[in-house]
Amino acid sequence: MAASISPASVIIAVDVVDSRLDLAKELGATHVINPLKIDAVHEIRKLTGGYGADRALDATGNVGVIKDMLACAAPNSIAATVGATAKGVVIEIEPLVWLQRGVSYRGVHQGSSNPQKEGLHLRKIGWHQKSNDLDSFFRGLSTCGKVDGCRSRS
């Protein structure tokens, strides 16, 4: 979402839930990819003329997604993970590839975000459910995706 207020000309969103891809388009993604339907790494390479992504962000913490993100990172690019992996998860890398490509990979914890900055439509991606309606809450996860807490509306 923040990429849409950046100077980026190509903004690619990748997700397995089509409704989230629709929201990504609404929020500024120029291209969307569902990796259950198409090879995401190949498609990102194609959309960037074989170069890859200058900036890549993983919000899942899923090792397969992280590996794919790193595989489509452009030379001298920055890739970051904001999603938490399970404790003890290890990602294998081939150091020679990293030396040749110059990709920087980092973890992000809250970062230097400014959620009040104009253009960020945070209310569109937030989702809250009354804590006394857990059946509805868990049904909502199929379209929302991640649990960010169960907050009661008073």
Strand, coil or helix: what is 144? helix
Same domain, 80 and 134: no
More confident residue, 94 or 121: 94
Same domain, 98 and 130: no
With a CB cutoff of 8 Å and minimum separation 6, the contacts of 89 are 63
Domain harbouring 71, CATH code? 3.40.50.720
Question: Among 11-15, 53-57, 77-81, 107-111, which is the least confidently predicted range?
Answer: 107-111
Same domain, 42 and 105: yes
Same domain, 109 and 141: no
Distance separating alpha carbons of residues 24 and 63, to the nearest angstrom: 22
Same domain, 114 and 128: no
Q: Does residue 8 register a pLDDT over 80?
A: no
Element (H, E) at 149: none
Same domain, 107 and 147: no
Beta-carbon count within 10 A of 103 CB: 19
Q: How confident is the model at residue 139 (pLDDT cuts 50, 70, 90)?
A: low
Over residues 34-46, the mean pLDDT reads 96
Same domain, 88 and 138: no
Is this structure's pTM higher than 0.85?
no
Question: Tokens standing for 150?
Answer: 């169960």
What is the predicted pLDDT for the residue at 6? 58
What is the predicted pLDDT for the residue at 143? 52
What is the predicted pLDDT for the residue at 153? 34
pLDDT in tens, 65-119: 999 999 999 999 999 998 788 889 898 888 888 889 999 988 887 655 555 555 5
Q: Does residue 120 register a pLDDT over 50?
A: no
Same domain, 125 and 115: no
Q: How confident is the model at residue 135 (pLDDT cuts 50, 70, 90)?
A: low
Same domain, 134 and 144: yes
Beta-carbon count within 10 A of 81 CB: 22
Report the largest interatomic distance among the alpha carbons of the chain, rounded to a whole angstrom. 55
Distance separating alpha carbons of residues 113 and 42, to the nearest angstrom: 30
Same domain, 78 and 138: no
The number of folded domains in the chain is 2
Whole-number mean pLDDT of the chain?
78
Same domain, 11 and 60: yes
What is the domain extent for residue 151? 121-154
